[in-house]
C-alpha cells in the first residue's frame, strides 16, 4: 500500500473513530448504571463511564431500577434459543428474522416492508432521531420522559423542547406541537417512561394531523402491552407520518436477548438505513417469533405484573406515600426529599431503584419486580422514609419539587 493511501486510510479510521465516539447509543441499562454510580456514597471507586456497560451488583441485590422483567423470556422462547444456538456459527441463513417479520406483519395488518428489525429498540430510537432532527429541525419531548431520544437529538445539534406533562401526566400534545414550528420529530412515549401514564389515541392522532410539515411523530410503544392503551400501528398502516417503536425487552422479558422493531412507511424507514443495521442474533429473532405466537403470553404477564403493581400501590397509599398510579411496569414516588439521597439509602440496603428526572428531583422511579422484590422494597423504603433526610449537601437546588398535580 502506498504512503498516500495509508495516510488517507488512517485519517478515515480516525474520522470513523471520532464519529463513533461522538454518537453513543444509550439504553435503559446505561441510565440505570449512571444513576447507580451518581448515587454512590462519596469515597467509593470512581464510576466507569456510563457509555460502557460494566454493571455488577452485590449478591442478592433487588434490581428494580431498569424496567426489566423478572419473568424473563417465556418457555417457548427459551426452547427456541436452545434449539437454534448450535446454528450460531453462521449468520441468519435460515431466515429467522424474515419469519419474525412475517409474523408481526400478519398479526398487525402491516406490509412486511413497513417493519425493520433491530437488536432492541434503542438503535431505531437513536437512528430515527438522528434522521429527522438537525440544527434546523428540532426534537420535542414530554418532560419527564425517556431520555435516550433527547440524547440523540443533542448529537444532531437539534433544538430540544421539553414540554411538561398534563395534569393527568399525559403528553400535552397541543403544547408539544406549538413548542417548535420547525420540529423534525415529536417523541411520544406511550405508556410514558418514567410515569407509566397514558396519552390518548385521539391526542396522538391530533399531533399527527397538526405537527409541522415534514416532521414525524415517533410513538414509543415499549410498554404498550402492559396497559389498556390501543396501539397506533394502524396509523402506520394508513401511511401517516408516524414511526412506532416496539421492543421485546419489557412484557416479553428479553432485554438481555435483544429484539425490537421500527415500524413505519418504507420511505421513512429508508432514512434510518444511513446509520446501518447490525445483523440480528438468530436467538433474538427466533425467541421473539415464538413469543409473538404465544397467545397467552401478553394477557398472562399483563395480569401478573399489574397485580404486583396494584398491591404495591395499595401499600403505598396505606402508608401515605405520594405516587402516580401507572399502567406500566414502573411508577413514580414523590419522596418529599432529594430523590438521589433516597436512591443512595436504598442501595445501602441492597435495593436498587430507578433514577430521578431533573424536572422532579424529589421523585424516584421504581420498577415493578417480583413479589419477593417488592416485599423487600417495602421494608427498605419504609425504613429509609422513616429516617430523617441524611445530608443537606445532597439536596438539589431545585428543591422542594415533587409532583405538581398531586396534593
Q: Which of 17, 19, 65, 28 is nearest to 50 (CA)?
A: 28
Q: What angle do CA 11, 133, 355 make, to 5 degrees?
A: 95
DSSP three-state, residue 242: strand
Cα(first)–Cα(last) distance of the chain, in Å?
Answer: 72
Write the DSSP string, 173-240: HHHHHHH-TTEEEEEEESSPTTT-----HHHHHHHHHHSPTT-EEEEE-TTGGGSSPPP-HHHHHTT-
In angstroms, what is the minimal distance from the CB of 146 to ligand PLP?
Answer: 4
Write the DSSP string, 289-344: HHHHH-TTHHHHHHHHHHHHHHHHHHHHHHTT-EEE--SSSEEEEE-SS-HHHHHH
120 vs 369, beta carbon nearer ligand PLP? 120
108 vs 247, beta carbon nearer ligand PLP? 247
Q: Which three cell numbers stand for residue 271?
A: 432514512
124 vs 380, beta carbon nearer ligand PLP? 124
Compute how many other C-beta atoms are within 10 angstroms of the C-beta atom of residue 141.
25
CA-to-CA dists, residue 188 to 80, 139, 161, 198, 403, angstroms = 33, 11, 13, 10, 20
127 vs 360, beta carbon nearer ligand PLP? 127
In angstroms, what is the minimal distance from the CB of 108 to ligand PLP?
Answer: 18
In angstroms, what is the minimal distance from the CB of 33 to ligand PLP?
Answer: 13
In angstroms, what is the minimal distance from the CB of 320 to ligand PLP?
Answer: 29
Q: Which three cell numbers stand for residue 147?
A: 431520555
Contact 95, 121 (CB under 8 A): no
In angstroms, what is the minimal distance from the CB of 114 to ligand PLP?
Answer: 19
276 vs 397, beta carbon nearer ligand PLP? 276
In angstroms, what is the minimal distance from the CB of 32 to ligand PLP?
Answer: 9
146 vs 352, beta carbon nearer ligand PLP? 146
In angstroms, what is the minimal distance from the CB of 128 to ligand PLP?
Answer: 11
In angstroms, what is the minimal distance from the CB of 227 to ligand PLP?
Answer: 12
| Cα 99 from Cα 79, distance rounded (Å) | 17
Compute how many other C-beta atoms are within 10 angstroms of the C-beta atom of residue 106.
11
In angstroms, what is the minimal distance from the CB of 54 to ligand PLP?
Answer: 18
359 vs 394, beta carbon nearer ligand PLP? 359
Q: Which of 385, 383, 351 is nearest to 369 (CA)?
A: 351
Tracing cell 437546588 back to the chain, one arrives at 397
360 vs 380, beta carbon nearer ligand PLP? 360
Residues near ligand PLP (CB under 6 A) are 27-28, 67, 120-122, 125, 146, 189, 193, 220, 222, 247, 249, 255, 260
192 vs 347, beta carbon nearer ligand PLP? 192
Amino acid at each position: 500500500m502506498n504512503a498516500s493511501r495509508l495516510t488517507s486510510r488512517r485519517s478515515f479510521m480516525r474520522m470513523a473513530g471520532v464519529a463513533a465516539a461522538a454518537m453513543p447509543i444509550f439504553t435503559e441499562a446505561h441510565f440505570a448504571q449512571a444513576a447507580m454510580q451518581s448515587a454512590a456514597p462519596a469515597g467509593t471507586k470512581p464510576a466507569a463511564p456510563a457509555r460502557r456497560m460494566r454493571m455488577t451488583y452485590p449478591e442478592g441485590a433487588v434490581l428494580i431500577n431498569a424496567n426489566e422483567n423478572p419473568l424473563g423470556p417465556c418457555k417457548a422462547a427459551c426452547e427456541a434459543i436452545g434449539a437454534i444456538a448450535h446454528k450460531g456459527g453462521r449468520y441468519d441463513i435460515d431466515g429467522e428474522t424474515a419469519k419474525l417479520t412475517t409474523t408481526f406483519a400478519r398479526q398487525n395488518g402491516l406490509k412486511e416492508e413497513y417493519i425493520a428489525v433491530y437488536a432492541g429498540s434503542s438503535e431505531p430510537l437513536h437512528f430515527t432521531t438522528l434522521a429527522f432532527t438537525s440544527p434546523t429541525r428540532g426534537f420535542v419531548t414530554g418532560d419527564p420522559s425517556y431520555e435516550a431520544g433527547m440524547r440523540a437529538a443533542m448529537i444532531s445539534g437539534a433544538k430540544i423542547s421539553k414540554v411538561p406533562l398534563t395534569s393527568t401526566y399525559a403528553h400535552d400534545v397541543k403544547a408539544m406541537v406549538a413548542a417548535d414550528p420547525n420540529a423534525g420529530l415529536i417523541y411520544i412515549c406511550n405508556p410514558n417512561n418514567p410515569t407509566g401514564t397514558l396519552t390518548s389515541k385521539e391526542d396522538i392522532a391530533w399531533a399527527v394531523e397538526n405537527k409541522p410539515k415534514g416532521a414525524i411523530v415517533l410513538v414509543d410503544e415499549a410498554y404498550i402491552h402492559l396497559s389498556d392503551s390501543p396501539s397506533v400501528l394502524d396509523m402506520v398502516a394508513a401511511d401517516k407520518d408516524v414511526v412506532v417503536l416496539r421492543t421485546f425487552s419489557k412484557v416479553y422479558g428479553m432485554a438481555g436477548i435483544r429484539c425490537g422493531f421500527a415500524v413505519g412507511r418504507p420511505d421513512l424507514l429508508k432514512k434510518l438505513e444511513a446509520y446501518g443495521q447490525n445483523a440480528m442474533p438468530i436467538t433474538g429473532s427466533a425467541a421473539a417469533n415464538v413469543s409473538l405466537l404465544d397467545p397467552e403470553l401478553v394477557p398472562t404477564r399483563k395480569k401478573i405484573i399489574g397485580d404486583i403493581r396494584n398491591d404495591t400501590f395499595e401499600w403505598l397509599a396505606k402508608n401515605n406515600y405520594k405516587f402516580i398510579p401507572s399502567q406500566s411496569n414502573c411508577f413514580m414516588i414523590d419522596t418529599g426529599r432529594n430523590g438521589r439521597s433516597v436512591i443512595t439509602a436504598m442501595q445501602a440496603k441492597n435495593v436498587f431503584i430507578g433514577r430521578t428526572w431533573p424536572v422532579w428531583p424529589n421523585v424516584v422511579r421504581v420498577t415493578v419486580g417480583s413479589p419477593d422484590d417488592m416485599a423487600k422494597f417495602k421494608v427498605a423504603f419504609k425504613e429509609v422514609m422513616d429516617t430523617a433526610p441524611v445530608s443537606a449537601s445532597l439536596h438539589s437546588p431545585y428543591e422542594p419539587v415533587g409532583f405538581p398535580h398531586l396534593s
